Structure 1
Amino acid sequence: MAAQISSAGPVRIACVQMEPHIGDVAANRAATARFIETAARQGARLIVLPELCNSGYVFHSREEALALAEEIPAGDTCRLWCALAHRLRVYIVAGIAERDGTALYNAAVVIGPDGYVGKYRKLHLWNQENLHFSPGDLGVPVFDTPFGRVGVAVCYDGWFPEVYRMAALQGADLVCVPTNWVPMPDQPPGQHPMAVTLTMASAHSNALFIACADRVGIERGQPFIGGSVIVHCSGWPAAGPASRDDEAIVYADLDLSEARDQRRLTEFNQLLSDRRGDVYGDYQRLTK
């Protein structure tokens, strides 16, 4: 049953920036529990964890990825998160390697105080993810919570404006993004990473709150850039970006109902109703 949405005011959101270790599922699982406990003690009601935080990211082979993946929600990691969410009365959005029969997905799970809520499967696979995972097949689901409607994206999905727009058109107030951002070429010194810039632009152009939980560290030679950030529906950071190197938790107190008001830009302009579908037409055909 869908949760009753409330406009009771701010909710504290936490984005966990941590360093999973490839292959060490037990230690990764225990680390997520420690961070969830810490965030809950600080009053967080929605806690976002990074992409593939149960398994690590840089797999040598599909066989290794399959061995480290778990069923959703029957696997040990989801069962732990369900127990924590129930005891602490929090919601958790976390990236996880999902095994579904012989299929593998780079997924994210949504869990609440009453148990498993739903899942998302990453739509756009980055680089060698294509060797291990199948592209997501669940679309862009949006989930009801007591504090607003919540969508999910994972990492490279954020490079595609359609993902955030689809969430907004379904009434999402917030999109949670478990991510493993890597350096982009030609990054000017002193500037936000491109991922943060894209997140700010997407939040502004859709009037969405966006909460991104990144990882840090170097795994099998691949560096990750940190920078976890919570962006207000106006497009400006509400908390973060966090550092490039350190584990941390980023917090923001947000009233998600503001997203619905933010879409009204002027007396004459509303971000979603101003869309010119008559002009855009079949954009898939236009790009061929």
Structure 2
Amino acid sequence: MKVACLQFNQIIGEVERNQNFASKLLEKYQPGDIDILVLSEMAFTGYVFKDKDHIKPYLEDSETGTSVQWAKEQAIRLRAFVVVGYPQIVKGNPDRYYNSICFIDPYGKLIETYQKSHLFSTDESWAEEGPGFKSINVPNLGKIGLGICMDINPYQFKASFKDFEFANYHFRQQTDIILCSMAWLQSSCDESQSHDNDEPSHSTIDYWCSRLLPYFTDSEEYYNVFPQNSEPKRNVLFVACNRTGTENGSCFAGSSSVIILSPKRPIILRSLKSKEEAVMVVDVPSL
């Protein structure tokens, strides 16, 4: 199976420019080159919006929005599953706004819309919480879990670090592949700008793995905390597609990664650099 992350520095509000840039990066790929393509959180609109009025011009419907349409077109062209993040509007009285991702099949059909459950402070200025984590059966892929950035963290950073809400949910659901769209921040802009020799942010990747601890620890201490997970473990694929660049004072960590969560430890198959704009295709061995 060939899994791809498309990482780039989108410019906030310049949706058409960002889509054209992403399409250009994908131009050389043809059907058979990619089986699953993942883009970042709010991949084409940018991420750091101040409030509902700021983001309102960029809200999209889950079927006809410009990000979803782009995803459908690329899915058909590549004959691949495609995941793209975008700001969603659900019409009603009142309208509801969500930070969402679309999951599209190789024929351009929408399989699932997932709405972010654990909101970051930036999201809280405009978005509502989604109804909860999701894991769905997909023919030819297995059980697929969808997530967005802060979802892997403790709820509102108030829940215990050891609750592992996201990881435990997908462990119990026996999810085979976890696909996460990220707009993950560097710990500081000074750190981001100090990387003269651009490399993956190992601290970021290590932290992502730490938030998936239920998948690969075998310690007695772990079983005491998570007795429901003491059954035999298996390999699970985790894909995190992040963005890079800076936006309204926020600096993003890049470092998109494809990782196998093995019973003993995480196996990092490949990562992009923190500032790299590229499509990373990883040939994943059988799980």
CA contact (8 A) 1:39 1:47 kept: no
How far the C-alpha of 1:168 sits from its partner, in A, is 2.8
Alignment partner for residue 216 of structure 2, among 204, 207, 210? 204
Letter aligned with residue 249 of structure 1: V
In the aligned structure 2, how far is the partner of 1:143 from the partner of 1:195?
A: 29
In the aligned structure 2, how far is the partner of 1:29 from the partner of 1:43?
A: 20
2:169 pairs with 1:176: no
Aligned to 1:216: 244
Aligned to 1:236: 267
Letter aligned with residue 16 of structure 1: L
Percent of aligned pairs sharing the same letter: 21
Tell me the secondary structure at the aligned position of residue 141 of structure 1: strand
CA contact (8 A) 1:200 1:236 kept: no
2:98 pairs with 1:105: yes
Letter aligned with residue 204 of structure 1: F
Aligned to 2:277: 247
Aligned to 2:25: 35
In the aligned structure 2, how far is the partner of 1:183 from the partner of 1:37?
A: 29
Q: Structure 1's 97 and 157: CA in aligned 2 closer, same or farther, altered over 3 A?
A: same
How far the C-alpha of 1:60 sits from its partner, in A, is 2.9
Task: Give CA deviations for 1:124-170 in whole Å, capped at 9, x if unaligned.
Answer: 11122111111111432324141322111111112242212212322
Give structure 1 stretches of 5+ with no counterpart.
1-10, 259-288
Q: Structure 1's 41 and 239: CA in aligned 2 closer, same or farther, altered over 3 A?
A: farther
Moved more, 109-118 or 71-80: 71-80
CA contact (8 A) 1:199 1:210 kept: no
Aligned to 2:147: 153
How far the C-alpha of 1:50 sits from its partner, in A, is 0.5
Aligned to 1:119: 113
Tell me the secondary structure at the aligned position of residue 251 of structure 1: strand
Q: Structure 1's 175 and 88: CA in aligned 2 closer, same or farther, altered over 3 A?
A: same
Q: Structure 1's 125 and 218: CA in aligned 2 closer, same or farther, altered over 3 A?
A: same
Give structure 2 stretches of 5+ with no counterpart.
155-163, 218-232
RMSD: 2.4
Letter aligned with residue 284 of structure 2: L
